[in-house]
Amino acid sequence: MSRSSIISTIQSRGSVPIAFPAEKLTEYYATNVFNDAAIKKFCSKEAYQAIRNAVDKTTPIDRKLANDVAEGMKQWALSKNVTHYTHWFQPLTGTTAEKHDAFFEPDSNGNAIEVFNGKALVQQEPDASSFPSGGIRNTFEARGYTAWDPSSPAFVMEYESGNTLCIPTVFVSYTGEALDYKTPLLKALNAVDKATVDVCQYFDKKITKTWSSLGIEQEYFLVDEAFFNARPDLMLSGRTLFGAAPAKGQQLEDHYFGAIPERIHSYMVDFEHEAMKLGIPLKTRHNEVAPGQYECAPMFEEINLAVDHNALLMDLMEKVSRKHKLKVLLHEKPFAGINGSGKHNNWSLITNTGVNLLSPGATPQSNLIFLTIFINVIKAVHDNADLLRASIASAGNDFRLGANEAPPAIMSVFVGTQLHNILNDVEKNKPNSEARAVGSIKIDKIPEILLDNTDRNRTSPFAFTGNKFEFRAVGSSANSANAMTVLNTIVAETLKQFKAEVDGIIKKGKSKEEAIMETLRNYVKKSKNIIFEGNGYSDEWVREAAKRGLSNIKTTPRALDAYVTPKSEKMFIENKVFNKRELHARHEIMLETYIKKVQIEARVMGEMAYSNIIPAALQYQKVLIDSVVGMKTIGIAKTKMTSQLDIINEINDRVTVIKTQVDKMIGERMKANRMADTHKKAIAYCDKVKPHFDLIRDEVDKLEFIVADNYWHLPKYREMLFIR
């Protein structure tokens, strides 16, 4: 189909009519979730209490009660016209996975019954041979286990062809190592809970449990499916490998928060309905900065559930988009020259007493708790900046970090003017001059802290935003469990160190408050270099960060090395998040993923250059040559053909460079593929193959500018970004 035909097809599309599930959102919210109300209705009191204990106290569910739960879950699912069930998990492929089994079983009388027992609920054995394992298992060994996670409720996924009961699970190898994102996250959450409670006991004995809270802002692009299908690069790599910048991009800043186009609005409403039925509490929708870019964001949830919901949301967005003849682009940089997409992770810690530990309080006592957690988080980021950088490393995110609106690859913390001044005063052991005193401050040197007393910094990768930290460097296609596993582990480790140091000072005869303040003061001194309040996009910051000793690791293969340093190994093992084998396997898997993604891009780029770009250029060049020959035939002087000849020569020169660079890129790719060592291969793809991308693209994009429009078959940026 020609570009003009594609455009005509798209322009004839209208918005898809949306049928509301009910008059009020509250009438259909979480109707497809086996939540607390559904458990009470369909399960016995004993089974209900077993689930509550499993969620609240991590108490294992007895096998007999698991049968009761399974029976109740089955009856609830059957009431939703479910025919199959699946253990829904998140393997290290970056997508979700499921294997459907029918409730149906034949009986001895030749009839059929619906069967679902506790064994099927609690554990399944999917074929694990084709999932990434990083060398943990041989490819001919197929056994792996999925195990029910009671803390994330089961849900029903609706399809026109039939409904399926989805049971969130972990996924582990036959020998017990984690092969998914969920397992280490649950372990990291357990570690940070214990470490945080131990520290909170200094302040409030009623605090016996804490939860990590997370709100994930999901950015994405939308293009019409006809454009998507006409672009091999979008189909196979998720981003446009070629594309000349349009005259208008985002420079007018007119898309951000603008009126949502009707067709896009219809799509948003549709997937929001589906999300709401699945208990995903979407709150916000809006146009993002770049044309064709949008965002949705939920309310805050417990972190394990928030991560599950985000993975499910990405599946839903893709599923619903097909109905609207749209394609969701979750790649971090699908279009060059405009903003990429992130997944801002807003993280905080909540106690069982209802206190947000990252929210400044009204009393010196509550502010001391706040300062303790706040400073420990900063220290954790300072001490583990390279590991935090590794947690968001990917081939796609490499294109985004430091480009346009995205934070740089340098990890830093933004705290705002008032808190920065307070930290300075803590370090100098003096009262804060800017704080407004309310009543009598009974704990020496603890000021009142004003909430939201500073602007936000959009250039910071890790910014304090009033009552939470916003980790803005996470990529839009990422599973947030990766970054959140690292963040919660490093905070747990730092809090453990903090408690040990405070207890040591107390044993020397100082008061608890004095010991806490002395330790906090030392932490501020040691970690202040990570705090930066300025423009993270500036060249000055790159130079300043180097002076401060902060890393600027721009590429994924080198960033990932932070996972397997002796320091990281020790921390993950001692906090029981990863064992050494799992950690090195993860490192291997992430390197392999990087290699495969760059390899795919290189192959697609070469294929498009030979089969799309060069033929289009030569076809147009022939038209110009025929024109020149015709002009010469009728006696027009060569001196009057300068413009045509210049374009002919330019096309020839650029085609020559494209072919030369593609051939060199293929040669480097073949060299890299012969390397047995995964790390060396990843470095080769990064340093030897990938540099050809920009050289090839530059020539192609210049060809797009000079080749006549009707000879250029690939949809252009101006069309994909602005035609709805």
| pLDDT tens per residue, range 227-264 | 999 999 999 999 999 999 999 988 888 888 899 999 99
pTM of the model: 0.94
For the chain, percent of residues with pLDDT exceeding 70: 92
Residues 6+ apart with CB under 8 A from 359: 348, 370, 451, 466, 467
Q: What is the pLDDT of residue 142?
A: 54
Which residue pairs, CB below 8 angstroms and at least 24 apart, start in 578-582? 578/178, 578/184, 578/187, 579/177, 581/136, 581/177, 582/136, 582/177, 582/178, 582/184
Q: Which two tokens stand for residue 193?
A: 């809970």
Residues 6+ apart with CB under 8 A from 389: 409, 411, 473, 551, 553, 559, 562
Q: Which two tokens stand for residue 178?
A: 């984690």
Q: What is the dihedral of CA 387, 392, 398, 401, to 10 degrees?
A: -90
Q: What is the pLDDT of residue 120?
A: 84
Burial string for 231-262 (b: 16+ CB within 10 Å, else e) reads: bbbbeebbbbbbbbebeebbeeeebbeeebee
Q: Distance between CA 560 and CA 387 in Å, rounded?
A: 8
* Mean local confidence (pLDDT), 148-168: 93
* Mean local confidence (pLDDT), 581-589: 95
Name the pLDDT band for 143 (thresholds 50, 70, 90).
low
Which residues partner with 656 through β-bridges? none
Q: What are phi and psi of 124, to 5 degrees?
A: -130, 165
Q: What amino acid occupies position 481? A: A
Q: What is the pLDDT of residue 60?
A: 84
Q: Distance between CA 242 and CA 233 in Å, rounded?
A: 8
pLDDT greater than 50 at residue 443: no
pLDDT greater than 60 at residue 445: no
How would you classify the pairing of strands 469-471 and 462-464? Answer: antiparallel
Q: What is the pLDDT of residue 238?
A: 97
pLDDT greater than 50 at residue 371: yes
Q: Indicate the average pLDDT of the chain.
A: 91
Q: Distance between CA 704 and CA 242 in Å, rounded?
A: 9
Name the pLDDT band for 364 (thresholds 50, 70, 90).
low
Q: What is the pLDDT of residue 693?
A: 97
pLDDT digits (tens, 9 = 90+) for 41-57: 999 999 999 999 888 87
Beta strands in 45-96 (DSSP E): 82-88
* Mean local confidence (pLDDT), 480-496: 98
3-state secondary structure of 591: helix
Q: Distance between CA 366 and CA 207 in Å, rounded?
A: 13
Q: Distance between CA 175 and CA 518 in Å, rounded?
A: 46
pLDDT greater than 70 at residue 112: no
Q: Distance between CA 88 and CA 70 in Å, rounded?
A: 16
pLDDT greater than 70 at residue 444: no
Q: What is the pLDDT of residue 536?
A: 86
Q: Which two tokens stand for residue 176?
A: 């017990």
Name the pLDDT band for 99 (thresholds 50, 70, 90).
confident
- Least reliable range by pLDDT among 253-257, 481-485, 509-513, 706-710: 253-257
Name the pLDDT band for 375 (thresholds 50, 70, 90).
very high
pLDDT digits (tens, 9 = 90+) for 713-723: 999 999 999 99
Tokens 């799509």, residue located: 267
Q: Quick one: which of 478, 475, 403, 454 has its CA closest to 185?
A: 478
* Mean local confidence (pLDDT), 529-537: 90
Which residues partner with 343 through β-bridges? 218
State the helix-helix crossing angle for 512-527 and 480-507, rounded to 10 degrees: 130
Which residues partner with 350 through β-bridges? 211, 356
Residues 6+ apart with CB under 8 A from 631: 640, 641, 644
pLDDT greater than 50 at residue 178: yes
10 and 226 Cβ atoms separated by less than 8 Å: yes
pLDDT greater than 70 at residue 553: yes
Q: What is the dihedral of CA 296, 298, 303, 307, to 10 degrees?
A: -40
Counting Cα atoms < 13 Å in the Cβ hemisphere of 620 gives 25
Q: How far is CA 483 from CA 78, 343, 383, 667, 696, in A?
A: 37, 11, 16, 35, 33
pLDDT digits (tens, 9 = 90+) for 267-307: 999 999 999 999 999 999 999 999 999 999 999 999 999 99
- Least reliable range by pLDDT among 100-109, 204-213, 498-507, 631-640: 100-109
**Which domains are delineated in the chain?**
32-180 (3.10.20.70), 189-235+249-578 (3.30.590.10), 592-722 (1.20.120.1560)
Which residues partner with 219 through β-bridges? 295
699 and 654 Cβ atoms separated by less than 8 Å: yes
Name the pLDDT band for 433 (thresholds 50, 70, 90).
very low
Q: Distance between CA 203 and CA 225 in Å, rounded?
A: 56
Q: What is the pLDDT of residue 434?
A: 42
Q: What is the dihedral of CA 480, 483, 488, 489, to 10 degrees?
A: 140
pLDDT greater than 90 at residue 165: yes
Q: What is the pLDDT of residue 129?
A: 62
DSSP structural state of residue 339: -
> Within 10 A of 647 (CB to CB), how many other CB atoms are there?
16
Name the pLDDT band for 501 (thresholds 50, 70, 90).
very high
